[in-house]
Structure 1
Amino acid sequence: MNEPIAIKVDPANTDQAKAWGGNEGAYWAVNAEHIDRAVERYHGPFMAVAGISAHDHVLDIGCGTGQTTRDAARAASSGSALGVDLSPAMLDYARQAAAREGVRNVRFEQADAQIHPFTAEAYDVAISRSGAMFFGDPVAAFTNIARALRPGGRLVLSTWQGFGDNEWLRELMTAMAAGRDLPAPPPGAPGPFSLADPDRIRAILGAAGFVDIQLEPHREPMWFGKDADDAQRFVLGLLGWMLEDLDDDGKRRALDNLAATLTAHDTGDGVLYGSAAWTIQATRGKHVRGGGS
């Protein structure tokens, strides 16, 4: 069940806050290591592009269970890193992991980054690995993030390319649909593919006050489990909601389809699916609404 929202949230982000503050966030927290391994082939290249230096102050947007924040703090050995997210469960995991790993120049805060009153011009770098696609008003959100950056500060994002380019979700959702049509999400709606279109990305970041916007495509396999059974347990935790309106026969077909695709993608070295993401870099310009000169 979803917990009551305990922080100030923009009305446009209420549904996201309820989801990440409830079962969805709790599942990601319990499966943090599994999820980090799923995207591990993106993690190193993403952090390399972020290029965090020893004295940087880093803001991590949608930090989840905090792997990127902790690694940012390690790189910013004489600086600091702040991770913000809507999910209290994932933030609890992030704090415990930081303590366990001895990372002391890091902190985590539950916040809606679209409206949170970050200290103006306090950060050198803002990063987000797959956490920036869920804003109800992305221009407002990235404008708020730009205000938190010093002029000339850098933004580095990882976002998914389109649904058709991401075999993992296309194949898994098709299996779980059990013959039903999969309605396409409304263009630009908050979700995994809201920042898939390069023109939309440039328009949003440009309107928010960013310049020198660059996109680099990456394609990597994603890992879903050590074998088909392990992957099925994980996927059902993510997409089990797709079974809710099926009758018994439909559920059997969905589960059979899921087992078939997972078995077909079991390489003997894990269940792997193709994926495609953008690595986005931008610089805060001199002029940001409410952000000074």
Structure 2
Amino acid sequence: MTSTDVHNPQDLKTEDWAGDMGATWLANLSGFEGMIAPIGKALLARAGYQAGETVLDIGCGGGATTIAIAQSVAPSGHALGIDISPDLKAAALARAAAAGVENAHFLCADATTVRLQDAPFDRLCSRFGCMFFEDPAAAFSNLHGLLRKNGRIDLAVWAAPRDNPWMMDMMAIVKTYIDVPPAIPRAPGPFAFEDLDYVRDILDASGFKDMDVVPHEGLQPVGGAGASPQTAVDFALNSIAQGRLVKTTDASITLKAGQDLHDLFARHHVPQKGVMMRGKAWLVSARA
């Protein structure tokens, strides 16, 4: 990936997640998973998986959600996590083995085209794993075909950037140093599904029905639970697309932006908890 490939944080295509982006997520796995853990916990609580169910976890990343689902549906159920990144799939396999979770399985696959012998599944799940689909209608249509009739899909997606100060406050700092092109509404990226009317249109067109949404709002630890302000700075500059933009410039700009980020994160630092900043996600469910 060249530096120009990250100029728009929404311009992260499927092939990037199969390569550089997947490797970046893996290199910063603890920080990413720690930051979104509260939302993931709320997603699984709302889904309420039961013993014996079969569940497909879409965009499973490092496998934490898949493993948690597998534990919920044990002993007779199982969970399959799919991710387009071979690096993340390998890491997920290793984590499940280390945890002794034998009913969690993983596959490197594209949700838009994957065909699975285990289908149809009782349930589908995705914790921030579906917003980068290049063709969301095609992907969700394919996923609909992997779900049994009246089976349920549960998604966690980010609400609007304005409702996520953890992102907007970082972006404001970045914009003082470099030009950042405006986001393209509904383009693949972290906030592709901020508009619930758009989500409803996609799900309806893909054969899903009875969409239901609850918001999840709260503080989340930037850089992971217990992170110091400097740990959060390192996480932002190495992991978050907006922060990585800064590192494509010269060292003096990176240093200045890093100091501003440190000041921001220090204001939100809570001892023993970390850098706690407000975020909002949508928890979306629908049926096949």
TM-score by length of 2: 0.89
For residue 249 of structure 1, report the CA deviation from its aligned partner: 4.5
Candidates 157, 168, 172, aligned match of 2:166: 168
- 2:124 aligned to which of 111, 126, 133: 126
1:61 touches 1:83 (CA, 8 Å); kept in 2? yes
Q: 1:242 aligns with which of 240, 245, 254?
A: 245
- Aligned CA-pair RMSD: 1.9
Give the whole-Å Cα distance in 2 for the aligned partners of 1:120 and 1:190: 28
Residue 80 of structure 2: aligned partner: 82
Match of residue 278, structure 1, among 239, 262, 282? 282
Counterparts of 1:224 and 1:118 in 2: how far apart (Å)?
36
Show the counterpart of 1:23: 20
TM-fit CA distance, 1:229: 1.1
Distance in 2, matches of 1:15 and 1:144, equals 21
Q: Whole-Å Cα distance in 2 between the matches of residues 42 and 207 of structure 1? A: 27
Q: What's the offset of the Cα at 1:247? A: 4.2
The change in CA–CA distance for 1:37 and 1:17 in structure 2 (over 3 A counts) is same
Q: Secondary structure at the match of 2:140?
A: helix
Q: 1:278 to 1:27 in 2, by over 3 A?
A: same
Letter in 1 for 2:184: P
Structure-2 residue corresponding to 1:289? none
| SS of 1:39 mapped into structure 2 | helix
Identity of aligned residues (%): 35
SS at match of 2:13: helix
Gaps of 5+ in 2: 3-10
Amino acid in structure 1 at the alignment position of 2:42:
P
Q: Secondary structure at the match of 1:53?
A: coil
Residue in 2 that maps onto 1:251? 254
Please report how far the alpha carbon of residue 251 of structure 1 lies from its aligned counterpart in structure 2 after TM superposition: 3.0
The answer (yes or no) to whether the contact 2:237–2:246 under 8 Å persists in 1 is: no
- Structure 1 equivalent of residue 267 of structure 2: 264
Residue number in structure 2 paired with 1:41: 38
Displacement of 1:222 after TM fit?
1.4
User: What pairs with 1:1-293 in structure 2 (closer than 5 Å)?
Assistant: 16-77=13-74, 78-119=76-117, 121-225=119-223, 226-239=227-240, 240-268=243-271, 269-284=273-288
Cα drift, residue 211 of structure 1:
0.5
Measured after TM superposition, the shift of residue 119 of structure 1 is 4.0
Name 1:287's counterpart in structure 2. none
Q: 3-state DSSP class of the match of 1:271?
A: strand
- 1:189-216, Cα deviation, whole Å (9 max, x unpaired): 0001111101001110010000110111
Distance 2:189 2:286 in 1: 21
The 2-side partners of 1:137 and 1:91 are apart by 22
Q: CA deviation at 1:122?
A: 1.6
Indicate if the aligned counterparts of 2:152 and 2:286 stay in contact, CA closer than 8 A.
yes
Choose between structure 1 and 2 for higher RCO, CA contacts under 8 A separated by at least 6 residues.
2
Name the amino acid aligned to 1:243. V
1:26 partner letter: A
